[in-house]
Amino acid sequence: MITLKQFTFNPYQENTYVLYDETGECVIIDPGMHDGREQNMLTSWIKETKLKPVLLLNTHCHIDHVFGNKFVFDTWGLKPQFHKGELYILQAVPGYAPQMGLNYELSPEPEVFLEETGTVTFGNSELELIFAPGHSPAHLCFYAKEDGFIVGGDVLFYTSIGRTDLPGGNHQQLIANIREKLFILPDHVEVFPGHGHLTTIGFEKLNNPFLK
Instruction: Report pLDDT digits (tens) over 166-211.
Output: 999 999 999 999 999 999 999 999 999 999 999 999 999 999 999 9
DSSP-H helix ranges across 97-141: none
Where exactly are the structural domains of the chain? 3-211
Report the amino acid identity of residue 95: G
pTM higher than the cut 0.95: yes
> Sorting pLDDT into bands at 50, 70 and 90, what band is 212?
confident
- Beta carbons within 10 angstroms of residue 69's beta carbon: 30
Query: Alpha helix (H) ranges present in the chain?
Result: 36-48, 63-66, 69-76, 87-96, 171-177, 201-207
CATH 3.30.360.10 for domain 3-211, yes or no, is no
